[in-house]
Amino acid sequence: MSDSSFKRLKKFQIKNLRKEIIKCCLIYRDVPEFDKINSNKFSQNVFETESSGALLKQMIDAIERAEDIICVSTFLINERSLTDAMLNATSRGVRVYILTSELNIESESEDDDEISQKNREEHLKLLDEIAGKILVRTANHFHSKFLIIDPNTYDNSIGFLLTANLKNKALFGNGEIGIILRGAAVYELYEQFCYGFWKESEHELLEPGRLRDVIRKSHIQLPELFTISYTTNETTKLKQEIISLITNSIGELIISSFGFEEDYEITNLILNEIRNDRRVIILAPNRPKIMNTLKRFREEGAEVLIREYHHAKAILVKTNEYKEGLIFTANLTSEGLENGFESGIKVYKEDTLELEKILLNWYQNFPLILKVNVNVGDILGKILFFENYNLIEKEIKPTIIKNLGEIQAESIYDMESTEPLNFPELDSDEICHEIRYEWTVIPPILPKDAKKIKNDSELPFFEWKRQKFILITNKSELKTAEELAPKNKAKIVVDYKKIL
Amino acid sequence: MKINLQRKIDIEIFKAIIDLGRNTARDDIISILMLSKENESHITAEAICNELLGGRPLSMGNLLIQRCMNLELFDEKFNLTELGNSSIESQQVFLPERGLYRIICTQDPLLPEKLLDIEPLAVDTLKSDIQSEKNNRNDKENQEKGKIEFLPDWILELEGKIVNLIGSSKDQIKVNKIEKKGEYQIEENMEQLKAQLVLEDNGAANFSVSDLFTEKLKPPSISFDEVWKNLLGSKASDWDESITPNKLRFRFEELTEKELNTFLKNIKFSNPSIPNYDNFEETLVKDIPIGPKSQEDANKWAKHHLLHAIESYSFHKTYIQLVKKIKLKLPEFNLNLPSEEELTLDLRNNFLKKQERMPAYYWFIQAPLDLNPGGRLVE
């Protein structure tokens, strides 16, 4: 019998969770704060948006130089400096036309989760303000994003194909790509604009607050375009261009998109490329809606880098010998590539280098990386869990201590072996490499209501519920108690206060 | 187009003793007149007795001839008089009566008769009035009621005239004699008499009175054109009769949107007056055909119509058709309508200067000009 039989005994047990598997999560990378990084500040035609609003300034400068017409396509518009510039242009005699979405509450769009109620209200309010001065036509599938100036002139024509909507957050933040267009590309976008205006518009706003039905010019055909790829109700040339770019190339594949769709042709094509040992990098936002698809990409071996609000749509294929790219407005979904009104342009030479620079910069600096089937023991710190179609932030800690309190031993001989009946699991928001369960074993003590009974021995006897107890108050009494206990069918208990 | 002229008729009421003939259907006398007509307008007692009385004594025939002569239907030579002839036509003869009458008269030139109605009164009414007049010359009550005086000449001039009354009896009477003295009546709370003359540009004319009496009357002999030009006054020089329908010409700026659209205008004449027929109440002449005053006005007017005709997006071919259609609306002018480019430029200058929203018709022309790659798109 050891001394511990008479004392509180502290005990612990470690449960190792390092080999537990996390099926899908986003892990923070050790990279600089993303908003302070910019890869390209308008040195070339291809650029990314950034906080100074340099892209917006370029567009406003172009609008201020417009002499004939301005054509705008955007899913959403609420950037007042742009519309103010357009209204100024109208006072010079320039005509401005806008194709945009009605943003109906009922409509379901790929971009729904980026359209806040505030954005929607600002969009509709702004359209009412410009109605009549600018001719606005709408359709819920108008998703392409471009601005073209004087397409019918030789000297003054210029265009901007953007992945960003003309909304302030998009134009001032990172994560969008734009390309400046000139010459034939501008004219081809103008062709697509005219086609959308006459044949795919649903309503028009000629006066505030009243969207009237449009009588479509059904006979109008969009001619074959050579520079611009597009999606309309009648064609899926943009999708064909994407498929062609992916399948007719080798080397690394960098794909950036706001939207992906499970079990869609493009998704399956990308998965095939990954399975064929092609290095594929996916750049995407942290949207629960697309996480299953991203998970599949990663499971097959793609590197998936994530950033909040990432919205750019582009593909780059590269080997050491050549590079080829495509910048476009559509998400990689059936809504964008089968049924939308979208535009895209292939980039070559210097423009491809610029695109590569942007995409690689994002690859290196996106703050989150998607991991699948990863051991808990390989991660420490905050991560985003993908569970039940939600992304939930949790922190992986080295150890979580679970204090299980005091446990009374059955007898003074069981002090060492006494353990809690249950070792509780972690709470749902807890995750760690190991759990340390801690508890304290206390020796058996006299029940509170036990009554002293007469006996002939030198030690006091008690009884409670037909059980006899021999109370000892110091270690020297133990030997006598051990002799008396079997004879009297009594349990040895300790005076707890005295032990303490 | 019609002119509707109305006014209240001033009426005057007298009590007068009158000998008159009241046109009455008398088949027996008409038979004698017709017999004479068959006899070269001559009558004899024999003829009457033989033809009408079944051979009764001649004295009977002579008595009837005398009766007709008293009625001035035959002259002293037993020939049919003018009155006799008109009695055959109307199948009525003026049967004499004499008495005291309440007569309703007017001097309004619109009405063909000065005497509008007569109403027989008991003979002693005037006598008692005369007595009262003698007894109570200063009696105010009687003064208000009326006083015995010489009737005005225009009343006395009715003697010898045949008058169609428009009052309740609608009788035709022949005024034989009016006693010079009578009584002027002031009757309060008497219903008004209103006259309405409606003249139409197709020559139709309607004249009627209402309220106190209701009767359709022969219109005064005045033409629509005469009245219309009178109403127009100095604007009459803009009434263009060289074109059918005639048009009143205006400057573009003088007209409202509705007038420009309909080519019709309503004009209110606040104090219409016609020579010899005095003044009428304010009247509104509706749906007056109007046209441009000058070539410049015509061009502005045509442009106005063109803008209103642009109701949907129109490419060049449609625009040309619209222009042709507008030109047909003003065939008397050689219209100069703008091209699409000129039209939209003009609209831009007008609206954008005022920082106003562009109207739909601007976009209906401008968008097909702007959004037509290579001019490939057509209707």
Contacts B313 to A, Cβ<8 Å: 215, 217
Packing angle, helices A117-130 and A80-91, rounded to 10: 10
HSE-CB of A425 using CA atoms within 13 angstroms: 3
Q: Which of B241, B261, B293 is the last residue of a domain?
A: B293
Position A107 scores a pLDDT of: 47
Question: Based on the domain organization, do A287 and A386 belong to the same domain?
Answer: no
Position A114 scores a pLDDT of: 56
ipTM comes to: 0.83
Smallest Cα–Cα separation from A390: which of A260, A284, A257, A287?
A287
> Within an 8 Å CB–CB cutoff, is residue B370 touching chain A?
yes
Which chain A residue has the Cα nearest residue B359? A132
Q: How far apart are CA A322 and CA B300, in angstroms?
A: 66
Position A52 scores a pLDDT of: 74
Residue type, B41: S
Q: What is the pLDDT of residues A12-69, one digit of tens each?
A: 999 999 999 999 999 999 887 765 555 445 457 898 887 778 888 999 999 999 999 9
pLDDT at A454 over 60: yes
CB contact under 8 A, A206 and B348: no
HSE-CB of A241 using CA atoms within 13 angstroms: 28
- What residues of chain A, 50 to 79, have a C-beta less than 8 Å from chain B? 68-69, 71
SS3 A423: coil
Question: Based on the domain organization, do A393 and A282 belong to the same domain?
Answer: no
Q: What is the pLDDT of residues A162-189, one digit of tens each?
A: 999 998 777 887 689 999 999 999 999 9
In a mutational test of the B interface, the residue from A135, A212, A215 whose CB has the highest number of chain B CBs within 10 Å is: A135
Question: Based on the domain organization, do A133 and A176 belong to the same domain?
Answer: yes
Query: Which segments in chain B show pLDDT lower than 70?
Result: 123-146, 379
Residue holding tokens 């073209």?
A148
In a domain, B1, yes or no: no
State the total domains in chain A: 3
Smallest Cα–Cα separation from A358: which of A39, A15, A11, A1?
A39
Interacting residues of B136 by C-beta distance below 8 A, sequence separation 6+: B142
In a domain, A66, yes or no: yes
Question: Based on the domain organization, do A77 and A222 belong to the same domain?
Answer: yes
Query: For position A107, which CATH number holds?
Result: 3.30.870.10
Sign of the Cα pseudo-torsion (A262, A265, A268, A273, in order): negative
Q: Is the pTM of this model over 0.90?
A: no
Q: How far apart are CA B199 and CA B204, in angstroms?
A: 6
Which H, E and C letters describe chain B, residue by residue? CEEEEEEEECEEEEEEEEEEEEEECCHHHHHHHHHHHHCCCECCHHHHHHHHCCCCCHHHHHHHHHHHHHCCCECCCCEECHHHHHHHHHCCEEEEEEEEEEEEEECCCCCCCCEEEEEEECHHHHHHHHHHHHHCCCCHHHHHHCCEEECCHHHHCCCCCEEECCCCCCCEEEEEEEEEEEEEECCCCCCCEEEEEEEECCCCEEEEEEECCCEEECCCCCCHHHHHHHHHHHHHHHEECCCCCCEEEECHHHCCHHHHHHCEEEEEECCCEECCCEECCCEEEEEEEEEECCHHHHHHHHHHHHHHHCCCCCCHHHHHHHHHHHHCCCCCCCCCCCCHHHHHHHHHHHHHHCCCCCCHHHHHHHHHHHCCHHHCCCC
Q: Which of A317, A333, A366 is the last residue of a domain?
A: A366
> Within an 8 Å CB–CB cutoff, is residue A190 touching chain B?
yes
Residue holding tokens 């950034």?
A50
Q: How far apart are CA B93 and CA B118, in angstroms?
A: 18
Query: For position B70, which CATH number holds?
Result: 1.10.10
Q: How far apart are CA B300 and CA B346, in angstroms?
A: 12
Question: Based on the domain organization, do B86 and B101 belong to the same domain?
Answer: no
Position A355 scores a pLDDT of: 93
Position B130 scores a pLDDT of: 55
Work out the minimum CA distance from B342 to partner chain A, whole angstroms: 13
State the total domains in chain B: 4
Tally C-beta pairs within 8 A across A and B: 48
Question: Based on the domain organization, do B18 and B167 belong to the same domain?
Answer: yes
CB contact under 8 A, A132 and B348: no
pLDDT at A112 over 70: no
Q: How far apart are CA A459 and CA A477, in angstroms?
A: 8
Distances, alpha carbon A200 to alpha carbons A221, A331, B171, B362, in Å? 11, 19, 82, 21
Contacts A71 to B, Cβ<8 Å: 371
> Within an 8 Å CB–CB cutoff, is residue A135 touching chain B?
yes
Question: Based on the domain organization, do B226 and B285 belong to the same domain?
Answer: yes
Question: Based on the domain organization, do A274 and A308 belong to the same domain?
Answer: yes
Question: Based on the domain organization, do B305 and B339 belong to the same domain?
Answer: yes
Smallest Cα–Cα separation from B260: which of B286, B290, B284?
B290
Sheet with A461-464: list strands edge to edge. Answer: A451-453, A461-464, A467-472, A490-494
Of A78-87, A428-437, B69-78, B370-379, which gets the smallest average pLDDT? B370-379
> Within an 8 Å CB–CB cutoff, is residue B346 touching chain A?
no
Residue type, B159: E
Q: How far apart are CA B345 and CA B347, in angstroms?
A: 5
Contacts A67 to B, Cβ<8 Å: none
DSSP-derived secondary structure letter, A443: -
- What residues of chain B, 301 to 330, have a C-beta less than 8 Å from chain A? 312-313
Higher-confidence residue of A159 and A104: namely A159
| Host H or E run for residue A71 | strand A69-74
Question: Based on the domain organization, do A391 and A487 belong to the same domain?
Answer: no
Phi/psi of residue A203, nearest 5 degrees: -135, 165
Q: Which of B210, B236, B266 is the last residue of a domain?
A: B210
Position A411 scores a pLDDT of: 84
In a domain, A445, yes or no: no
Phi/psi of residue A385, nearest 5 degrees: -90, 140
Position A473 scores a pLDDT of: 83
Packing angle, helices B360-370 and B340-353, rounded to 10: 130
Q: Which of B91, B117, B134 is the last residue of a domain?
A: B91
* Residues A27 and A368: beta-carbon distance below 8 Å: yes
> Within an 8 Å CB–CB cutoff, is residue A88 touching chain B?
no
In a domain, A7, yes or no: yes
In a domain, B216, yes or no: no
Q: How far apart are CA B63 and CA B204, in angstroms?
A: 50
Question: Based on the domain organization, do B271 and B306 belong to the same domain?
Answer: no
Range of the domain at A398: 3-23+374-439
- Which residue(s) pair with A491 in the sheet? A469
Smallest Cα–Cα separation from B134: which of B144, B147, B125?
B147
In a domain, A175, yes or no: yes
- Which residue(s) pair with B247 in the sheet? B240
- Which residue(s) pair with A374 in the sheet? A22
In a domain, A238, yes or no: yes
- What's the rounded mean pLDDT across residues A252-279? 96
Sign of the Cα pseudo-torsion (A81, A87, A90, A96, in order): positive
Q: How far apart are CA A71 and CA A95, in angstroms?
A: 9
Which chain B residue has the Cα nearest residue A193? B371
Distances, alpha carbon A418 to alpha carbons A1, A5, A406, A413, B66, in Å? 15, 12, 11, 10, 165
In a domain, B197, yes or no: yes
Q: How far apart are CA B127 and CA B365, in angstroms?
A: 90
CB contact under 8 A, A198 and B377: yes
Question: Based on the domain organization, do B161 and B263 belong to the same domain?
Answer: no
Smallest Cα–Cα separation from B25: which of B79, B89, B92, B124?
B92
Interacting residues of B265 by C-beta distance below 8 A, sequence separation 6+: B248, B250, B255, B259, B287, B288, B290
Q: How far apart are CA A169 and CA A178, in angstroms?
A: 15
Contacts B352 to A, Cβ<8 Å: 90-91, 93
- Distance linking the first and last C-alpha atoms of chain B: 42
Position B77 scores a pLDDT of: 92
Sign of the Cα pseudo-torsion (A324, A327, A333, A336, in order): negative
Question: Based on the domain organization, do B105 and B130 belong to the same domain?
Answer: yes
Give the mean pLDDT of chain B: 90
Q: How far apart are CA A230 and CA A240, in angstroms?
A: 9
Which H, E and C letters describe A171-187, residue by residue? HHCCCCEEEEECCHHHH
Q: How far apart are CA A46 and CA A323, in angstroms?
A: 15
β-strands A177-181, A46-48 pairing:
antiparallel
Measured in whole angstroms, the distance separating CA A314 from the mean position of its chain's CA atoms is: 18
- What residues of chain A, 217 to 276, have a C-beta less than 8 Å from chain B? 217, 220, 223
Position A34 scores a pLDDT of: 64
Question: Based on the domain organization, do B243 and B168 belong to the same domain?
Answer: no
* Residues A60 and A88: beta-carbon distance below 8 Å: no
SS3 A326: strand
> Within an 8 Å CB–CB cutoff, is residue A209 touching chain B?
no
Residue holding tokens 């699409």?
B340
| Host H or E run for residue A170 | helix A168-172
Question: Based on the domain organization, do A181 and A233 belong to the same domain?
Answer: yes
In a domain, A378, yes or no: yes
pLDDT at A440 over 80: yes
In a domain, A444, yes or no: no
CB contact under 8 A, A194 and B373: yes
Q: What is the pLDDT of residues B170-216, one digit of tens each?
A: 889 999 999 999 998 888 888 899 999 999 999 999 999 999 999 99
Residue holding tokens 């899913």?
A75
Q: Alpha helix (H) ranges present in A383-493?
A: 478-488
* Residues A129 and A86: beta-carbon distance below 8 Å: no
pLDDT at A497 over 70: no
Question: Based on the domain organization, do A398 and A277 belong to the same domain?
Answer: no
Question: Based on the domain organization, do B107 and B187 belong to the same domain?
Answer: yes
Question: Based on the domain organization, do A467 and A390 belong to the same domain?
Answer: no
Residue type, B147: K
β-strands A390-408, A431-442 pairing:
parallel
Q: What is the pLDDT of residues A331-372, one digit of tens each?
A: 999 999 999 999 999 998 889 999 999 999 999 999 999 999
Question: Based on the domain organization, do A352 and A309 belong to the same domain?
Answer: yes
Q: Which of A398, A414, A439 is the last residue of a domain?
A: A439
Q: What is the pLDDT of residues A135-156, one digit of tens each?
A: 999 999 999 999 999 999 988 9
In a domain, B4, yes or no: no
Range of the domain at B75: 26-91
> Within an 8 Å CB–CB cutoff, is residue A198 touching chain B?
yes
Q: Which of A315, A341, A366 is the last residue of a domain?
A: A366
Question: Based on the domain organization, do A330 and A359 belong to the same domain?
Answer: yes
Question: Based on the domain organization, do B103 and B129 belong to the same domain?
Answer: yes
In a domain, A446, yes or no: no
Question: Based on the domain organization, do B161 and B15 belong to the same domain?
Answer: yes
Contacts B363 to A, Cβ<8 Å: 135, 206
* Residues A35 and A367: beta-carbon distance below 8 Å: no
Question: Based on the domain organization, do B15 and B139 belong to the same domain?
Answer: yes
Question: Based on the domain organization, do A301 and A359 belong to the same domain?
Answer: yes
